Structure 1
């Protein structure tokens, strides 16, 4: 059942984003920022963790999940460092994911020899 919930929740998120891209004039970058901010807001009110427990990877892998990771990092850093944690917590929490994306993206570019569109 866990796989089923992850599949339909992740698919629903992707379908809603696709509808947003098709029916509005929003650029993809703005939609991505909207998703990260929405994930952070949902996390800050305490609704994201029950959502992750229900949907698993379907909730934690999309950009909403990145907003949740950033907000969790900020909360923990504020508890430990006070006000300065606002500025460092998100970076510390999201550093591993960002580094992995850069490293694996670079490795993929070496294997597949990408070319610019003309």
Structure 2
């Protein structure tokens, strides 16, 4: 069984450094300081979200369908991942096509509250 690499100290939560790598085939060991990517610090839920987001080519409607979550939830999860990667999330009013929002509301894909959020850009 393999485990995801620990990235934070279980005692003090500081970032851990990778210092040793070993080949399972020949037993070669390499010791040095190795960098982890920003993505190594994401939890499994965040990594799965990113996988779905990329597979959907950034299409939020497809992410909504696959994960069974609402538009505002997709945006919130995306903001969480962006923050976890060390970037600042700037709240922008998304350019939303009002007709699309009304269509989604009529089809029952979103609630009236979600439609208001989308239209008001909150």
TM-score w.r.t. structure 2 length? 0.29
Identify the structure with bigger relative contact order (alpha carbons < 8 Å, sequence gap 6+).
1
Q: Which has the higher strand share?
A: 2
Q: Which has the larger radius of gyration?
A: 2
